Amino acid sequence: GQQLNQSPQSMFIQEGEDVSMNCTSSSIFNTWLWYKQDPGEGPVLLIALYKAGELTSNGRLTAQFGITRKDSFLNISASIPSDVGIYFCAGQLSSGGSNYKLTFGKGTLLTVNP
Amino acid sequence: NAGVMQNPRHLVRRRGQEARLRCSPMKGHSHVYWYRQLPEEGLKFMVYLQKENIIDESGMPKERFSAEFPKEGPSILRIQQVVRGDSAAYFCASSISQGKETQYFGPGTRLLVL
C-alpha cells in the first residue's frame, strides 16, 4: 500500500524561528494536503496543493507540491506559540476509483517555546 | 454553520462490550468517511459511505466492525466485542461530493477499552 514518510517526527523551536517539515511518498499523488491537529481535536486543513510544482501560501504558511509528485514540504515563518500542534501531510489521488481516500503521514509534533 | 459533529467525544468500554460512535456531517454534505488514529500515528482510512450506501469499506476490519449512514440521522460506526487494540481516536469527515472536494473532519471520538 501507499506510505508517506513525514519528517521530522518532532521539533522544539523558539518563538520567531522558521520551521520546515516534509513528506515523501513511495508512489505518486495528484493532491497533497497539509493539516494541523490541536490536542483533543480533529485535523484542520491548512493548505491544499493540486499541481506538481505548485507553491501556495496561507498567511505565514507556505507549501510546495514536488515536481516528481512524490513529495511536499510545509514551511512556517516567524513561529508563534499558537502554532503548537501536530502537522500532518496527506496525499490523495484525483482520479481512479479510490480518489476519496486520504493517506496520512505520521505527523510532526511542533513545540514553540515563547 | 455547524461543522462535523461527533459524539461521544470520549468513550470507555470494557473488553467484550459494544461501542457506537456517531457522526453528523456538515449541512449539505452527503459523503461521510471514517478514519482511525492509533497513538502517535497518522489517520488511516476505514470506510466511505453515502446516504444509505457503503461505497468502500476496504480499510475496516472484516469482523466486529460495521458502519451505516441511514437516510435520516447520523452515520454510525459500530464496534462489537471490543478488544484493547480497538483503543484509538476515531474521526469522521464529510464532503459535499466525492474525490477532490475537501474533507472536513470532526473532533473525533476517543475510545478507551479497559
- Is B41 part of the contact surface with chain A (CB cutoff 8 Å)? yes
CA distance B100 to B80: 33
Q: Tell me the mean pLDDT in the region A50-57.
A: 93
Chain A neighbors of B108, CB-CB under 8 A: 40-42
3-state secondary structure of B112: strand
Q: Do B4 and A106 touch (CB under 8 A)?
A: no
Please give the pLDDT value at position A94: 63
Tell me the residues of chain B between 80 and 99 that have a Cβ less than 8 Å away from chain A.
Answer: 91, 93, 95, 98-99
Cell of A36: 494541523
Please give the pLDDT value at position A92: 87
Give the pLDDT confidence of A2-47 residue by residue, as tens digits.
678 999 999 999 999 999 999 999 888 889 999 999 988 999 999 9
Q: Are A105 and B43 in contact (CB under 8 A)?
A: no
Residue B25 has pLDDT above 90, yes or no: yes
Please give the pLDDT value at position B84: 95
Nearest residue of A to residue B10, measured between CA atoms: A40
Across the interface, of B41, B48, B110, the residue whose CB is closest to A106 is B41
Residue B57 has pLDDT above 60, yes or no: yes
Give the pLDDT confidence of A80-100 residue by residue, as tens digits.
999 999 999 999 876 666 778
Nearest residue of B to residue A30, measured between CA atoms: B100
Q: Do A45 and B104 touch (CB under 8 A)?
A: yes
- What is the average pLDDT value for chain A, to the nearest integer? 92
Please give the pLDDT value at position B87: 96
Residue B5 has pLDDT above 80, yes or no: yes
Q: Tell me the mean pLDDT in the region B6-13.
A: 97
Residue B52 has pLDDT above 90, yes or no: no
Size of interface A-B (CB pairs under 8 A): 67
Q: Which parts of chain A are beta strand (E)?
A: 4-7, 10-14, 19-25, 31-37, 43-49, 55-58, 61-65, 71-76, 85-92, 102-104, 108-113
Give the pLDDT confidence of B93-107 residue by residue, as tens digits.
999 887 667 899 999
Q: Tell me the mean pLDDT in the region B48-53.
A: 92
- Is A80 part of the contact surface with chain B (CB cutoff 8 Å)? no
